Structure 1
Amino acid sequence: MFPSSMAVRSKSMIRIVGAREHNLKNLSVNVPRGKFVVITGVSGSGKSTLAFDIIFSEGQRRFLDSMNAYARQFVEPLERPDIDRIEGLPPTVSIEQRNSQGGGKSTVGTVTEIHQFLRLLFARLGTPYCLDCDLPTSGQTPDAITRSLKRATRDRGALRLLAPVIRNRKGFHSDIATWAQQHGYLRLRADGQWYASDEPFRLSRYKEHDVEVEIGQITSSRQATAACQSVVEETLRVGKGLLLALDEQGNGTMHGTRQACQGCGYSMPPLDPKLFSYHSARGWCETCRGFGELFHIPDVDRGARADAIEESWFQWQEGKRERCPDCDGARLNPMARSVRLNLDGFPNSLTGPRGHDFKNHPPTIDTFSAMTVREALELFEATRLKGREKEIARDILPEIRERLFFLQEVGLDYLQLGRSVTTLSGGENQRIRLAAQLGSTLSGVLYVLDEPTIGLHARDNVHLLRTLKRLQQRGNSLIVVEHDEDTMREADHVIDLGPGAGIHGGRIIATGTLNQLCRNKASLTGQALRQKRTFPLSGCRRPVEGLELGADLRKGKKR
Structure 2
Amino acid sequence: MDKIIVKGAREHNLQNVSVELPKNKLVVITGVSGSGKSSLAFDTIYAEGQRRYVESLSTYARQFLGIMDKPDVDSIEGLSPAISIDQKSSSHNPRSTVGTITEIYDYLRLLFARIGHPHCPKCSQEIKRMSLDEIIEKVRIQILNHCQTEKIKPQKFIIYSPIVRQKKGEFKELFINLKSKGYTTVRVDNKIFNIDDDISLIKTNKHSIDVMIDQLTASYSQIKDKIFVANLISRLRPVVEQSLSLSDGLVVLSKSNSKDILFSEKFSCPKCNLSLPEIEPRMFSFNFPLGACEKCKGLGTIYRIDPDLVINKNISINEG
| TM-score tier (shorter) | 0.3 to 0.5
Q: What TM-score, normalized to structure 1?
A: 0.28
Higher relative contact order (CA 8 A, sep 6+): 1
* Structure whose residues are more often helix by fraction: 1
Q: What TM-score, normalized to structure 2?
A: 0.47
